[in-house]
Amino acid sequence: MAFSKDRRYPLKLLFLLLLLGGFPGSFLGTTGHAASEPWPGRGELLDRFHQERKLLLVYGASDPRWADAYREVADRYRERSRYREIVVRSDLEVGESELAQHTVLLLGSLQSNTLIRRWSGTLPLGLTDSGFRFNDRDYRQPGDFFSLFYPNPGQTGRGVFWVCANSDSFLVAAIKSD
């Protein structure tokens, strides 16, 4: 789903719901998926996530201006998690085997998180340096963000939660606001 800042949707609430595994997912197509088997459904991916009780949170560290802020946010959610083990890695340090062995949460922007850029071709929306396009509408404002739950391109039996914004300053501030 795509949201605009002018609608004043609370990103923090969305993020909390995401961690509980209950926010809306989106499977609008299979763009970028080259496997011969069909992708699993949202329910199957969420069931596996709830059974394994593990999450790999990959935050954007490619833009040094935001690396510490994202790390702080990621560590805070890891410390607050009671029901899941949350492993925190930056996009610069995460390994392929970790990505394949976990349900993943991507946090950042196209500029700050290289994994978002690398995996963006698998999404049912288009990402560019100036914003993103969804459902024939361009989202280019700093306060525009999207959240999706989609199969992991590296291991389609697991899912990826995407929490991404056009502006790292907006995303960090929205998540940090208490």
**Gap between the Cα atoms of 170 and 164, Å rounded:** 10
- Quote the pLDDT of residue 44: 93
> Does residue 178 carry a pLDDT above 50?
yes
Q: How far apart are CA 176 and CA 161, in angstroms?
A: 19
Half-sphere exposure of 50 (CA within 13 A, CB side): 10
Distance in angstroms (rounded) separating the CA atoms of residues 150 and 158:
9
Quick: pLDDT tens for 43-95: 999 999 999 999 999 999 999 999 999 999 999 999 999 889 999 999 999 99
Give me the sheet containing 54-59, strands edge to edge: 2-3, 145-152, 155-165, 103-108, 54-59, 85-90
Task: Check whether 18 has a pLDDT greater than 90.
Answer: no
- Give backbone dihedrals phi and psi of 137, rounded to 5 degrees, phi first: -130, 140
Per-domain residue ranges for the chain? 2-27+40-176
Instruction: Name the one residue in this structure whose structure tokens are 């970790």.
Output: 98
DSSP bridge partners of 89? 58
Question: Cβ(146)–Cβ(139) under 8 Å?
Answer: yes
